[in-house]
Amino acid sequence: MDILITGATGRLGRVLTPELTRAGHSVRAASRTPAPTGKPGPDRPAEGGGELRRVRLDLATGDGLPAAVDGVDTVVHLASAPYQGSYTRDVDLTGTRRLVEAADRAGVRHLVYLSIVGADRVPWPYFRIKIEAEAAVAAGPVPWTVLRVTQFHGFLAEAMSRLARLPVLPLDPRITAQPVDVADVAAHLRWRVTAAPGRATEEFGGPAELDAGTLARDWLAARRIRRRMLRLPVPGRLGRAFRAGALVPSTGDRGRITWRDYLAAGPSEQAG
């Protein structure tokens, strides 16, 4: 199968690309930057018998888009530019619309769009853009699947690292999440791209729902850091959504790698 991955140099894309080539697929790994030094270039064999091509694609402008989708069976749309002002909308919404149109012209048979669990329930501007992008995919002529995933382990670990610079660790203990490992998401997507388009919104999360206090205590213990935790409820509608479980999937499959598994791997082994 010929597969285009947008956002191939991102947190998930770096894991998904070799996952799909190991499965024997021909993969076009698209990003705005040239191929990294020492990596397989265009038309060179990749690990597992698949073929890996690195292509340049800028969704904010459309540069490289027709060539990127030409001859592709499936598009896995991971590209995103969160919290970057108007550029976020250029990539996540306008760029998604461009991609849907180009994929239709190229005869793409399945477009898989990666979104976020809770995007329809959390009153955040970035999440609203994701919902608009989901709607653009669903309204388009290309058979589609929207996959909402929970927060990646690496995202939460980075958030903890930033908070740990403070003398106390502020958190809202009533917030719950179900973090997922990028390796589990990549494995799920390896199956999803070969299955029929669902024409539906699906969810995928980690193996367990955890409260913010547990997440923080596990991270502190793994890093051997001592910090007093300060209870600080998130205010307003945002806090109410978080405490109501908006970040936890209500349906869908689950990964196997736990938060503690991720932390035990150590920083050098953590891909996401």
Report DSSP state, residue 58. B
**Domain ranges in the chain?**
2-269
| Average pLDDT rounded to a whole number, residues 46-68 | 90
Residue whose pair of structure tokens reads 């199956």 in the numeric block:
191
The whole-number pLDDT of residue 260 equals 97
Q: Residue 272 pLDDT > 60, yes or no?
A: no
Segment 181-217, tens digit of pLDDT:
999 999 999 999 999 999 999 999 999 999 999 999 9
Q: Residue 40 pLDDT > 80, yes or no?
A: no
The whole-number pLDDT of residue 50 equals 87
Strands (E), the chain: 2-6, 26-31, 44-45, 51-56, 74-77, 110-116, 144-149, 168-171, 176-177, 201-205, 210-211, 228-231, 253-254
Q: Residue 99 pLDDT > 80, yes or no?
A: yes
> The pTM is what?
0.92
Q: What is the mean pLDDT of the chain?
A: 93
Number of other CB atoms surrounding residue 228 within 10 Å: 7
What CATH fold (topology level) applies to the domain 2-269?
A: Rossmann fold (3.40.50)
Q: Which of 16, 38, 47, 12 is nearest to 193 (CA)?
A: 16
